[in-house]
Amino acid sequence: MKKTMSLLAVGALSISLLAGCGGGEESSGGDQVKIEFFHHKREGMETIDKLIAKFEEENPNIDVEQSSPPEPSTVLRTRVSKSDIPDIIGVGGDVTYSDLANAGVFTDVTEDKSLENIQPAYVQMLKDVSGLEEVFAIPYVANAVGVIYNKAIFAELGLEVPKTWDEFISVAEKVKEAGKTPFFHTYKDAWTTLPAFNALAANTQGDDFYSELNKGNILAEERYKEAAEKLLQLSEYGHKNQQGVGYNDGNTAFANGESAMYLQGIWALPEIKKANPDIELGVFPFPATNNPDETKVISGVDLILGVAASSKHPEEAKKFVEFLMEEENAKQYIDEQNAFSAIQGITQDDPTVDDLKASFESGSLTDFPDHYIPTGVMPEKTLQSLVINKDVDEFLTKLQADWEKVQDRK
């Protein structure tokens, strides 16, 4: 979710410029090939290690090096600017994908047969966010934002899963009245403001927000007001020192029963379970409004698989991508990471996310709003200031001004 400098700022890139640069190492003996898989899913490294080991056993002549550094988007953009491009790139279906696709970093997969097995909604999301009709990566994993809740605490207090915003606030009030903390907020890490804001904004910004954006009309100052006000309201139901606690500590605290609910994406589930394997968890759709029939679950492409146009070993890189997409391997990834597959027919069977399944089956899904906010705006920093300063007008004015400033540079 984090945003960094624009690729445009480091110079115009093209396939002709990139051809022959970067990629995996040349074979010293002619047989062994080394390729690099660079991705942003640090919490998934253990699972990917297992899959790499399995792939290398089946393909002893190919070595796969996994890279997943902190601040992956910043690192990747810097490497691209130096023409040091990994063979396979796994990022989200967001502005980073858009910048890379528009810069010619990826191999075009529009006609690739692998796309035929991908949920069409996720393919369309890549087109929408990039503004391109061509597709330059395979959507592999989808995530979702909901409200993670402690089933034991809900049972203890006799609480039911809320369907509307008013019910949601009522639940928070009841938890507070019982002497417990409704939400555990981790505002020390600015990006952790985004999951809740995305859910609120996507359900309140209006259906024409993106079409107006495509016309050059930025409506953030007007349309994000309700989301900002509601995020601020939720911040009032947190614990002390919300600005002093980060994501990792938040996962542990919630796992230890320090709050009834946690406003995070499903990517946090493995870390919570790791901290407390016995915890009973559930995830319900974020009730952003009082119209439950219109509530949409925020689900975006969490991990794409893109082969670099500059890779020295494109066949080996593609072979690894195809391996990851095999049903058994794709199923292993989503099972261990509590994610949803972008591949049709591969289902998430963990009862933890049962409450989200109806939305996936009915197609009541929408993409992350921050995927469409351009690099350089950094809404997470502005949201972090919002929950500290509690000034909605200041937040809206700054976000609008930052967005317009970046837009004017294009």
Question: What pLDDT was estimated at residue 374?
Answer: 86
Domain ranges of the chain: 7-143+300-344, 147-298+371-409
Q: 19 pLDDT exceeds 70?
A: no
| Phi/psi of residue 256, nearest 5 degrees | -90, 10
Q: Could you tell me the CA-to-CA distances from 61 to 37, 52, 55, 56, 70 in Å, in that order? A: 16, 13, 10, 8, 29
Beta bridge partners of 33: 62
Contacts of 232 (CB under 8 A, 6+ apart): 386, 387, 390, 392
Query: What is the CATH code for 7-143+300-344?
Result: 3.40.190.10
CB 206 within 8 Å of CB 146:
no
Indicate the range of 18-32, 235-249, 306-320, 338-352 predicted with least confidence. 18-32
Contacts of 68 (CB under 8 A, 6+ apart): 38, 39, 40, 41, 42, 45
| pLDDT band, very low/low/confident/very high, at 3 (cuts 50, 70, 90) | very low
CB 165 within 8 Å of CB 230:
yes
CB 89 within 8 Å of CB 306:
yes
Distance of CA 146 to the CA centre of its chain: 13
Kindly give the pairing relationship between strand 365-366 and strand 281-284.
Answer: unpaired
Question: What pLDDT was estimated at residue 121?
Answer: 87
pTM for the predicted model, two decimal places: 0.81
Give the domain 147-298+371-409 fold: D-Maltodextrin-Binding Protein; domain 2 (3.40.190)
| pLDDT band, very low/low/confident/very high, at 376 (cuts 50, 70, 90) | confident
SS3 state of residue 208: coil
Closest to 175 measured CA to CA, from 269, 257, 290, 268: 257
Q: Give 1-30 as a DSSP string.
A: ------GGGG----HHHHTTSSSSBPPSSS
Q: What share of the chain is helix, strand, coil (3-state, %, to 5)?
A: 50, 15, 35
Mean pLDDT computed over every residue of the chain: 91
In tens, the pLDDT along 127-183 reads 989 989 999 999 999 999 999 999 999 999 999 999 999 999 999 999 999 999 999
Q: How far apart are CA 267 and CA 66, in angstroms?
A: 19
Q: 335 pLDDT exceeds 60?
A: yes
Question: What pLDDT was estimated at residue 58?
Answer: 97
Question: What pLDDT was estimated at residue 251?
Answer: 97
Contacts of 320 (CB under 8 A, 6+ apart): 35, 37, 55, 62, 64, 88
